[in-house]
A and B are shown apart, each in its own frame.
Chain A
């Protein structure tokens, strides 16, 4: 640097100046005695099988929103790291014990008695008791928490404690999705809950404790040494890195800086699937089902024949291959294969048939029409919208694309001010089918973004929800009736079911997601 001061300038040649500059730049890198590229990928020592140690780095496309801690949102990785739920579903949607060790549902479905673990401590050192379950349910009943399963939580009208580790939840009426609530409801610490939604302190009973949060950048956790699950977690810690740019996320996975991600775009996953250093796992959760929504008050789309024409016009196969990199299942119904409402006939009710689409438009007295078509301005969503735009054009439906940012789209969804058509993805089909129709805004029988209402739909949804069982023959018959309404009315035109895709680098093993996309790292470890 002194080479550039005027006092020493006379003694410096142009060549020396250039040499000095280059040497300085070289020194900057050579001065480093450790490689940041290597230290980023440190892991536990040893070779095969689960082992203790190491910090797992998880890449997320969007940051965690503290105010949405108790809601289903774009980032739900934090919930099951810090907190626990009462039960957890297995692959067959059967509840398994977590903080609740056993349960007994009343024969008439108006109550459930839970027995709780007695060896659980909050990170603050306080003992977990039945009072915490009471608080958790009441917490979800609070509208300020924006919990999608609030209607199910609101069905709990009374709590009867039998000691500190047993209680009965009294229900106003039977609900078929009670265990969806237990899968969804994290158990927070009543003392610090307001700090939790403010993002300053997270106290739970889960496997990791929050150690640092840099908004928009990273969230770090350390092992909870007093975790109730013996010998778990294996990891010393977890770092969630926020990497909004898809290319950067891909680079950090390739270089091993990030070892696990659920935010990789489908087309990027396709580029990794043949690389032996990556393990790719698709969750059949149906957590992201792509759909076209129709606002029934919009021009032309109030006629269900137009909506059905759109359903026939779309080439779902091409959409899955080109926009999702093949990671998705073509479906005209919202249900994933794991759902009790799933049937092959429903999934294939609509296929790519432009002639049928044109015939329906003709029947509706229309030849060619132009419709506004909103979509999220994210690159992946824009690609989906462009593919759909091309398909619709082939049958005489011109669309004017309206790229919209997330907050605006959300506002339009809630205020029912969407244009005639929009495309987004919805969740909640991965659980008991009644949850979709009472909790997911696009399908909500009471009020939805499409402004669709019908007494028949409301009636069948309420029947399916207000019952003690969720997968008996009668329940399944009701689910079929719901599906029949959806496939006939097509106010939500389902296209493809795309569960979350896990991309794990060579060293990461044993990560898991629950049905709401909560990251469970109890059994996760890093190989040598």
Chain B
């Protein structure tokens, strides 16, 4: 396992370095600049130039890039340009909320996808199979912002059961926090749950069509035991890879869902950063997301290798 990990690490680091360069460059290619935003709506060119000088944006791009990376390596994320405060504090404040939302959604993805996938592959009733298909198609087809608005209309505006938006910490007020979390987590989880359910269903169908299943059936092994003890473990590894990819999707989707539900997470922070051209905030955050993505992929590979010994002996 250790050898397997050592082999995978350099490619992860290379992805991070490339991502840092791309993130830095793409931000500078977007029209508009932080100095203009900071100088205010009626500032003259002199005021804008003064702000640009103060932020060091008048230095060559390569110098700015190396300076940013240098600070990053030493753990100094620096101050935010426009939002106010230190970037590390801003990320720290938003991280808890985003982790809460992403983990809540991840839990729902598993809770929804596992029974749906198994049910879709094993049911002998056509209406049930059709219902599973229809549900996964529908939640894949409807974009999260539509789902979000519909959920708010139904559960907050019409029924008054859940708050329309906002956030409470799970640690401070767990009973209220769950209610704030429910709608955004469902909204974020549904598309990923549908993708995972489909993969699971396909995997289960393939596994159930294998010779050993026919042999086990002939030997009188119960259907339930075949499904849960033999077919599901064989269908899981590819599904785990997909789940790893879906975690990336959840982080990306959080930007939109956080906006809909006024959820104070990293998604809101990225949006604010982009709108105000707050380079340090956006650069550090995007790189953090890439790092999370790379780490999750690495962990997924490890779990996959653990489940399937053939992988680690390659």
Residues of A within 8 A of B48 (CB): 414
Q: In the bound complex, do residue A35 and residue B179 qualify as a contact, i.e. CB atoms below 8 Å apart?
A: yes
Complex alpha-carbon distance, A447 and B261, angstroms:
42
Additional 15 contacts, C-beta under 8 A, given A14-B227, A411-B31, A414-B36? A9-B229, A13-B224, A21-B112, A65-B276, A67-B40, A144-B51, A148-B41, A216-B83, A243-B165, A247-B152, A251-B164, A252-B166, A408-B31, A414-B43, A414-B48
Residues of B within 8 A of A148 (CB): 40-42
Give me 12 A-to-B residue pairs in the complex whose CB atoms sit less than 8 angstroms apart, sorted by A's number. Answer: A14-B119, A17-B114, A17-B115, A65-B276, A216-B264, A255-B156, A255-B163, A257-B166, A410-B37, A411-B32, A414-B36, A441-B42
Q: Which residues of A, 209-264, contact B by the 8 Å Cβ criterion? A: 213-218, 241-245, 247-248, 251-252, 254-255, 257
With known contacts A6-B228, A36-B180, A248-B261, A255–B41 Cβ distance under 8 A: no
Closest CB-CB distance, B48 to chain A, in whole Å?
6
Residues of B within 8 A of A251 (CB): 152-153, 156-157, 164-165
Residues of B within 8 A of A407 (CB): 31-34, 36-37, 275-277
Q: In the bound complex, do residue B175 and residue A25 qualify as a contact, i.e. CB atoms below 8 Å apart?
A: no
Residues of A within 8 A of B79 (CB): 198
Proximity bits, B263-277, A CB within 8 Å = 1, else 0: 110001101100111
A contacts, CB < 8 Å to B? 4, 6, 9-10, 12-14, 17-18, 21, 24-25, 28-29, 31-37, 39-40, 63, 65-68, 71-73, 143-144, 146, 148, 198-200, 213-218, 241-245, 247-248, 251-252, 254-255, 257, 404-411, 413-415, 439-441, 447
Residues of B within 8 A of A447 (CB): 44
Q: In the bound complex, do residue A248 and residue B260 qualify as a contact, i.e. CB atoms below 8 Å apart?
A: yes
Residues of B within 8 A of A31 (CB): 175, 178
- In the complex, residue of chain B having the shortest beta-carbon distance to the beta carbon of A253: B164
From A32, A214, A215, A440, contact of B179 by CB (8 A): A32
From B85, B163, B176, contact of A215 by CB (8 A): B85
Q: In the bound complex, do residue B262 and residue A243 qualify as a contact, i.e. CB atoms below 8 Å apart?
A: yes
Proximity bits, B159-194, A CB within 8 Å = 1, else 0: 011111111100000011011101000000000000
Q: In the bound complex, do residue B167 and residue A248 qualify as a contact, i.e. CB atoms below 8 Å apart?
A: no
Proximity bits, B221-233, A CB within 8 Å = 1, else 0: 0001101110011
Closest CB-CB distance, A67 to chain B, in whole Å?
5
From B33, B46, B115, B262, contact of A248 by CB (8 A): B262
- In the complex, residue of chain A having the shortest beta-carbon distance to the beta carbon of B164: A251
Proximity bits, B244-287, A CB within 8 Å = 1, else 0: 00000000000000011111100011011001110000000000
- In the complex, residue of chain A having the shortest beta-carbon distance to the beta carbon of B54: A144
With known contacts A9-B232, A217-B264, A243-B262, A37–B160 Cβ distance under 8 A: yes
- In the complex, residue of chain B having the shortest beta-carbon distance to the beta carbon of A63: B272
Q: In the bound complex, do residue A66 and residue B84 qualify as a contact, i.e. CB atoms below 8 Å apart?
A: yes
Q: In the bound complex, do residue A200 and residue B84 qualify as a contact, i.e. CB atoms below 8 Å apart?
A: yes
Residues of A within 8 A of B47 (CB): 143-144, 146
Closest CB-CB distance, A200 to chain B, in whole Å?
6
Q: Which residues of B, 93-135, contact A by the 8 Å Cβ criterion? A: 93-94, 110-112, 114-115, 118-119, 122
Residue B66 at the A interface, CB < 8 A? no
Q: In the bound complex, do residue A18 and residue B156 qualify as a contact, i.e. CB atoms below 8 Å apart?
A: no
Complex alpha-carbon distance, A68 and B38, angstroms:
7
Closest CB-CB distance, B157 to chain A, in whole Å?
5
Complex alpha-carbon distance, A408 and B167, angstroms:
32
With known contacts A40-B163, A407-B276, A34–B176 Cβ distance under 8 A: yes
Residues of A within 8 A of B94 (CB): 214, 216
Complex alpha-carbon distance, A25 and B109, angstroms:
12
Total A-B Cβ pairs within 8 A? 221
Residues of B within 8 A of A441 (CB): 41-42
With known contacts A217-B167, A254-B157, A28–B178 Cβ distance under 8 A: yes
Q: In the bound complex, do residue A199 and residue B83 qualify as a contact, i.e. CB atoms below 8 Å apart?
A: yes
With known contacts A4-B114, A9-B232, A68–B40 Cβ distance under 8 A: yes
B contacts, CB < 8 Å to A? 31-34, 36-48, 50-51, 79-80, 82-85, 90, 93-94, 110-112, 114-115, 118-119, 122, 149, 152-153, 156-157, 160-168, 175-176, 178-180, 182, 224-225, 227-229, 232-233, 259-264, 268-269, 271-272, 275-277
With known contacts A143-B50, A146-B43, A255-B164, A63–B83 Cβ distance under 8 A: yes
Q: In the bound complex, do residue A10 and residue B224 qualify as a contact, i.e. CB atoms below 8 Å apart?
A: yes
Complex alpha-carbon distance, A33 and B179, angstroms:
10
Residues of A within 8 A of B228 (CB): 6, 9-10, 12
Complex alpha-carbon distance, A257 and B167, angstroms:
12
Closest CB-CB distance, A93 to chain B, in whole Å?
22
Nearest 8 interchain pairs by C-beta: A199-B84, A217-B264, A146-B40, A407-B32, A408-B32, A9-B228, A36-B179, A216-B268
Residues of A within 8 A of B269 (CB): 215-216
Complex alpha-carbon distance, A21 and B197, angstroms:
14
Q: In the bound complex, do residue B33 and residue A217 qualify as a contact, i.e. CB atoms below 8 Å apart?
A: no
- In the complex, residue of chain B having the shortest beta-carbon distance to the beta carbon of A57: B166
- In the complex, residue of chain B having the shortest beta-carbon distance to the beta carbon of A199: B84
Complex alpha-carbon distance, A136 and B152, angstroms:
45
Q: In the bound complex, do residue A17 and residue B118 qualify as a contact, i.e. CB atoms below 8 Å apart?
A: yes
Closest CB-CB distance, B185 to chain A, in whole Å?
9
From A4, A198, A439, contact of B110 by CB (8 A): A4
Complex alpha-carbon distance, A35 and B46, angstroms:
54
Complex alpha-carbon distance, A31 and B173, angstroms:
12
Complex alpha-carbon distance, A146 and B224, angstroms:
72
Q: In the bound complex, do residue B41 and residue A37 qualify as a contact, i.e. CB atoms below 8 Å apart?
A: no
Q: In the bound complex, do residue B115 and residue A72 qualify as a contact, i.e. CB atoms below 8 Å apart?
A: no
Residues of A within 8 A of B166 (CB): 36, 40, 241, 252, 257
With known contacts A36-B162, A200-B85, A254-B157, A72–B42 Cβ distance under 8 A: yes
Q: Taking each of B40, B82, B167, B229, which has the highest tally of chain A beta carbons within 10 Å of its own beta carbon?
A: B40
Complex alpha-carbon distance, A35 and B110, angstroms:
27
Closest CB-CB distance, A307 to chain B, in whole Å?
23
Complex alpha-carbon distance, A10 and B40, angstroms:
66
Closest CB-CB distance, B106 to chain A, in whole Å?
13
Q: In the bound complex, do residue B160 and residue A65 qualify as a contact, i.e. CB atoms below 8 Å apart?
A: no
Q: In the bound complex, do residue B82 and residue A65 qualify as a contact, i.e. CB atoms below 8 Å apart?
A: yes
Complex alpha-carbon distance, A125 and B83, angstroms:
28
Closest CB-CB distance, B261 to chain A, in whole Å?
7
Closest CB-CB distance, A516 to chain B, in whole Å?
13
Complex alpha-carbon distance, A63 and B94, angstroms:
15
